[in-house]
Chains A and B, each alone.
Chain A
């Protein structure tokens, strides 16, 4: 099928981010101090387990960033045109993979693994008269006869999943042990035993355990999701698992692109102010004091409101609804970046003030090196650990902030699926009788796992890279 690739602005930045991350990874490999620091991160089991979870989230987010538009079938009575027309709906590879979840929408709420709708409906009976019953779902559990046992069916479908998970983690173990087998005596078997007993150089055992659990979950999802609504459906009948998976990209984009956008400003202004002093320092300090003085929620609210006016009064800027939502997401990242760069900028200024008095910087200046060269060669590499620590520490806060902002109404576009919009839609559901608990629970679990993993990894990174730390 010929599809038209669509490159949204955030997609472009996501790809740029991946390239930057790869380049930095290569650099860290060839740079002994940062290689050692990353090793220290790798020795922490919690950090390695969290990294595996984050990697899975990142893959989901990446698949959701490959966007395309499907061609429309030619209108009846019209020959296949040379220029095919494309649907206005922008899909992603993740949408295509989750097609059963995306398309199998019910009428309204249904509980996880339910056979019937959650609410009663008045149905005209064939013999006349009406009845208030829970109608059968259109898609969920439709293969089950009324007398079939739900648990037996689930058990039958899950029977093969532990095997798959075991096989997957076994392959991972082989792949991890193979490089060590050549270098050490005892061969592959000894290398595998070293990993399994947790005596390896890095905490590979934690990786294997987490990978096994994740493989189990993913296999169970693949086995059950086409036949059941595992996490139920929401008010308009959309599958909650689909919504949760789609929210991942929004959270990741806000957590990472915000820092990507603000980093150039924070770094250049921070080290310029610290190194040059004088009026540059005064100007930068004035700028971040002013921005800092405004409470961040209010600054974000004001900026988002004005952005909303700009977007609403200029509908001609965007071709599709997806582009508008995407522009809004990016603008939100930029706005969050404006409010969050001040902290990093101040830290970098302080660190640069210390560095500029050190002997090697003085020596470089005495040799006549230009300011730009000193900043780039001598100052910047020595403040990068602060930048890295800040980036990973900020991530979880930004993911949490998105949910709050979307609730207040100054977050993502209403059409964008995010944790915030899920919570916002679900918050009245607990007041219903009987309560609808699954949307909120799903949003809670996905968000909790994402933020907790980020926090665990951030802790390890801070401990490993902060030279004065040891906290």
Chain B
């Protein structure tokens, strides 16, 4: 097992290097550091000296891949690519536009993100699977038809309307919880209830429909007929047999997003003013802080690859026939 994990981690390196190179080309190939400097400084002060100073202060005054002014390995080492891009492999992301250390900011901001995203994820998954099993239980009836119709209608509503509508109804009209904000400790529940509820409801339509198709595929198998033939109740068949056998396709889609929960949700955190990584990213996008966006892209890819490895590991737990090696 550990040999397998080690090998997967080694496989991940070329992919991360590709991500790194791709983002580097995206950020520095399309626009030269001069363009970015001019953009950040605004039209007023764009003298050549100002641009040079801006670049020197932030370490952008190096060649991209090859520095002929240096000797030996420094020719490759003292370049933008190594300094701004490859260095991220050590989780050193440099400083943001406001001078704060990005890595430290990320470490403190990922917990609020997780506090919203984890309950949303768990409750959303639970609700979707339960509703899907109910629809499958009532399959080919009027209830199933209208349930699926409701799912399609719910999928067709932009998540922003769920957020805006939920804030308006629960916070403004009923005045049950604050509209937005965040606090630690016991107060957290007051602030997190609404975003979690909205997150669950917003994902319910698509989730229910997706799991329903998975269960329907499973329910026409032979073992289900056997289970029914030996006299099990339909509910026992669904929850004990179908659900467990449908775990593999469910895990495929679910486990891969678990590490990415740290990143939070851009929309939720922005609307509810939660100081997590999602709102950090939005702030960086709006203030055009490229260093932060670059760091978030890198972390996002790392978490995604971790998710892929976890998915494979989870298969061995769900299905004893699968051996990794």
Given contacts A298-B300, A302-B23, A309-B36, contact A455 B30 (CB under 8 A): no
Min CB distance, A420 to chain B, in Å?
9
Chain A residue at smallest Cβ distance from B271 = A427
Looking at chain A, what size class is its interface with the partner chain? 35 or more
A302 interface neighbour in B27, B164, B266, B282, Cβ under 8 Å: B27
Min CB distance, A428 to chain B, in Å?
10
A290 to B17, CA, bound (A): 9
Q: Which residues of A contact B30 (CB under 8 A)?
A: 306-307, 309-310
Q: Which residues of A contact B297 (CB under 8 A)?
A: 294-295, 298-299, 302
Min CB distance, B182 to chain A, in Å?
19
Chain A residue at smallest Cβ distance from B31 = A309
Task: List chain B positions with a Cβ less than 8 A from chain A.
Answer: 14-16, 18-19, 22-23, 26-27, 30-31, 35-36, 38-39, 152-153, 155-161, 164, 167-168, 172, 179, 213, 216-217, 260, 263, 266-267, 270, 281-282, 285-286, 288, 290, 293-294, 296-297, 300-301, 304-305
* Structural contact, B15 and A290, CB atoms closer than 8 A: yes
Q: Tell me if A's interface is mostly helix, strand, loop or mixed.
A: helix
Inter-chain pairs besides A309-B31, A313-B35, A451-B156, 14 sampled, C-beta below 8 Å: A290-B18, A293-B301, A295-B260, A302-B27, A306-B30, A400-B158, A407-B267, A408-B266, A409-B282, A409-B286, A427-B164, A459-B152, A471-B213, A471-B217
A409 to B152, CA, bound (A): 28
Chain A residue at smallest Cβ distance from B36 = A309
Chain A residue at smallest Cβ distance from B151 = A455
The answer to whether A105 has its CB under 8 Å from any CB of chain B is no
* Structural contact, B152 and A306, CB atoms closer than 8 A: no
5 contacts between A and B (CB under 8 A): A293-B305, A301-B285, A302-B27, A310-B35, A403-B158
Q: Which residues of B contact A408 (CB under 8 A)?
A: 266-267, 270, 282, 285
* Structural contact, B172 and A430, CB atoms closer than 8 A: yes
* Structural contact, B294 and A302, CB atoms closer than 8 A: yes
A455 interface neighbour in B36, B152, B160, B293, Cβ under 8 Å: B152
Those of A262-301 within 8 Å (CB) of chain B: 286, 289-295, 297-299, 301
Ordered nearest first, which 5 A-B pairs have the shortest CB separation?
Answer: A290-B18, A295-B300, A452-B156, A451-B156, A293-B301
Chain A residue at smallest Cβ distance from B17 = A290
* Structural contact, A306 and B263, CB atoms closer than 8 A: no
Chain A residue at smallest Cβ distance from B40 = A309
* Structural contact, A295 and B157, CB atoms closer than 8 A: no
A298 interface neighbour in B18, B213, B296, Cβ under 8 Å: B296
One of A23-31, A239-247, A360-368, A440-448 at the interface: A440-448
Most A Cβ at <10 Å: residue of B14, B31, B156: B156
A65 to B36, CA, bound (A): 34
Min CB distance, B310 to chain A, in Å?
14
The answer to whether A151 has its CB under 8 Å from any CB of chain B is no
* Structural contact, B281 and A301, CB atoms closer than 8 A: yes
Q: Which residues of A contact B294 (CB under 8 A)?
A: 302
The answer to whether A456 has its CB under 8 Å from any CB of chain B is yes
A306 interface neighbour in B19, B27, B153, Cβ under 8 Å: B27
The answer to whether A410 has its CB under 8 Å from any CB of chain B is yes
Given contacts A294-B297, A404-B159, A408-B282, contact A306 B26 (CB under 8 A): yes
Q: Which residues of B contact A456 (CB under 8 A)?
A: 152
The answer to whether A238 has its CB under 8 Å from any CB of chain B is no
Q: Which residues of A contact B18 (CB under 8 A)?
A: 286, 289-290
* Structural contact, A452 and B153, CB atoms closer than 8 A: yes
Given contacts A286-B18, A410-B285, A451-B156, contact A471 B216 (CB under 8 A): yes
The answer to whether A303 has its CB under 8 Å from any CB of chain B is yes
Q: Tell me if B's interface is mostly helix, strand, loop or mixed.
A: helix
Q: Which residues of B contact A430 (CB under 8 A)?
A: 164, 167-168, 172
A308 to B26, CA, bound (A): 12
Min CB distance, B200 to chain A, in Å?
18
The answer to whether A396 has its CB under 8 Å from any CB of chain B is yes
* Structural contact, B156 and A455, CB atoms closer than 8 A: yes
* Structural contact, B15 and A298, CB atoms closer than 8 A: no
The answer to whether A152 has its CB under 8 Å from any CB of chain B is no
Given contacts A294-B300, A430-B172, contact A305 B164 (CB under 8 A): no
Min CB distance, B172 to chain A, in Å?
7
Most B Cβ at <10 Å: residue of A290, A410, A435: A290
* Structural contact, A293 and B38, CB atoms closer than 8 A: no
The answer to whether A36 has its CB under 8 Å from any CB of chain B is no
Q: Which residues of A contact B164 (CB under 8 A)?
A: 423, 427, 430, 440
The answer to whether A312 has its CB under 8 Å from any CB of chain B is yes
A403 to B270, CA, bound (A): 15
Most B Cβ at <10 Å: residue of A286, A289, A410, A435: A289
A289 to B14, CA, bound (A): 10
A404 interface neighbour in B16, B172, B267, B286, Cβ under 8 Å: B267
A27 to B114, CA, bound (A): 51
A116 to B159, CA, bound (A): 33
Min CB distance, A382 to chain B, in Å?
23
Min CB distance, B151 to chain A, in Å?
10
Min CB distance, B236 to chain A, in Å?
25
Chain B residue at smallest Cβ distance from A301 = B285
A378 to B159, CA, bound (A): 42
Given contacts A404-B158, A404-B160, contact A305 B152 (CB under 8 A): no
Min CB distance, B94 to chain A, in Å?
16
* Structural contact, B161 and A444, CB atoms closer than 8 A: yes
Min CB distance, B266 to chain A, in Å?
6
A362 to B160, CA, bound (A): 51
The answer to whether A75 has its CB under 8 Å from any CB of chain B is no
A301 to B215, CA, bound (A): 36
